[in-house]
Chains A and B, each alone.
Chain A
Amino acid sequence: QVQLQESGPGLVQPSGTLSLTCTVSGGSISNNNWWSWVRQPPGKGLEWIGEIYFTERTNYNTSLRSRVTVSLDTSKNQFSLNLYSVTAADTAIYYCARRGRLGESFDPWGQGTLVTVSS
């Protein structure tokens, strides 16, 4: 059973870079799935950020495309998110999730990690 776990700093300075890693266990990251990032500002709804395939093809939310990079490390069975030039509006719980095993749905999800942008 595949499980995902996010890790990374909980506090990022404004104008800095938010960097998170998602570790996949119970299955290989090098299979026919997309590996995605979704975020949720406190008290608000979910927003899809972007994703990567094992071939390193990527897809991004058009509203974040200029500031986002998702990358893959197959040797560690991990994928990562970098969000550049962050502001307080990027404060959110960040989730990683697998997409593609069941239709185009996200399943499973990581537990999420809160990242606060503040000086």
Chain B
Amino acid sequence: QSALTQPASVSGSPGQSITISCTGTSSDIGSYDLVSWYQQHPGKAPKLMIYEVSQRPSGISNRFSGSKSGSAASLTISGLRAEDEADYYCCSYVPGDILVLGGGTKLTVL
């Protein structure tokens, strides 16, 4: 199972919106609406931000949103803040109880 494809880096200024893409195949992202997104600050454990493509766990700001089209998913962060600067990873469930992660995207807030 190949890793999902994410851009290595994205950047934006405070207050702007950015979108991080996550590209897979019909065997993973395209199979079910079971994409999740994680935020990881340096030296910290990953934190769940989005599950089931677009659902936010309790306590996660509505500035974070997710979507999916075909075999690609996206994470959008609106009203960018300095504390959003982190690495972001997408993850997809694959039929047969396999989980595949993306390579990660470094978000820089300018």
Contact = CB atoms under 8 A, between A and B. Distances in A.
Nearest to B101: A46
B103 A104 contact: no
B97 to A, nearest CB: 4
B1 interface: yes
Nearest to B52: A103
Nearest to A57: B97
B3 A105 contact: no
A38 B101 CA distance: 10
B48 A106 contact: yes
A102 B55 contact: yes
Contacts of A104: 34, 36, 51, 93, 99
Nearest to A104: B93
Residue of B3, B36, B102 most packed against chain A (CB within 10 A): B36
Q: What range describes how many residues of B lie at the interface?
A: 20 to 34
Contacts of B104: 45-46
B46 interface: yes
A48 B99 contact: yes
Contacts of B93: 103-104
Interface stretch (A17-25, A69-77, A79-87, A107-115): A107-115
Contacts of A108: 48
A95 interface: yes
A106 B102 contact: no
B110 interface: no
